[in-house]
Amino acid sequence: MRVLYLYCHPLPESFHAAIRAEALTALQAAGHEVDLLDLYAEGFDPVLSEDARRRYHDESRNQQGLEPFIARLRAAEALVVQFPTWSFGPPAMLKGFFDRMFMPGVGFDISNPAAVKPLLGHIRSITGIVTYGRPFWYAVYMGDPPRKIVMRYLWWFTGWKARRRYLGLYHLNVASAEKRAGFIAKVKAAMAGV
């Protein structure tokens, strides 16, 4: 399966980098074709500029400058999204990726505004790998926006057809080495069945 691995963390020495390394190894060992899209390392510009917003609905111009990223998204059969939770949401870099990439003609068809249609039906699987600094109960109290982004928002773009999986490590700030290793093992096992 062609997997677009969307990774969002700025530090190469982070726990997230360790998770990513093991996840990529497991995906490749399972025979998947992996395209790592590291938003920070590739210098993705998350800002929806004034000009980009003005041409957002114009499908003849709205993809300008984003063509390579759009091609990678369109080639994917599976999407793995890995990120930390900051302020009970994804990092601004990842939110900006969604704002800029999931546009008319790419993420959805808005030719009939009363009946908007998703355009990413080729994605058959979505997996979220997410960490939180706070405990599970606190995330639930806040509505757990990262979980909703992966399990509801991204799922809509596939026409509610993709298989979904969510791997969350809560209370990372106080997680023991054993708990961290257990989470990495869980991620590795999940990658075989993406």
pLDDT value of residue 174: 96
Residue 88 scores a pLDDT above 90: yes
Give the pair of three-digit tokens for residue 85. Answer: 């939770």
**Residue 111 buriedness (CB in 10 A; 0-12 / 13-18 / 19+):** exposed
Q: How confident is the model at residue 29 (pLDDT cuts 50, 70, 90)?
A: very high
123 versus 193: the higher-pLDDT residue is: 123
Contacts of 85 (CB under 8 A, 6+ apart): 130, 131, 132, 133, 134, 139, 146
Specify the amino acid at residue 61: R
Query: What's the pLDDT at 84?
Result: 98
Q: Could you give the percent of the chain with pLDDT greater than 90?
A: 98
Instruction: List pLDDT tens digits, range 37-74.
Output: 999 999 999 999 999 999 999 999 999 999 999 999 99
What integer pLDDT is reported at residue 167 of this predicted model?
A: 98
Total-model pTM: 0.96
Mean pLDDT for 144-170 is: 97
Instruction: Give exposure, 172-185, as e/b (b: 16+ Cβ within 10 Å).
Output: beebeeeebeebbe
Q: What mean pLDDT value characterizes the chain?
A: 97
pLDDT at 193: 86
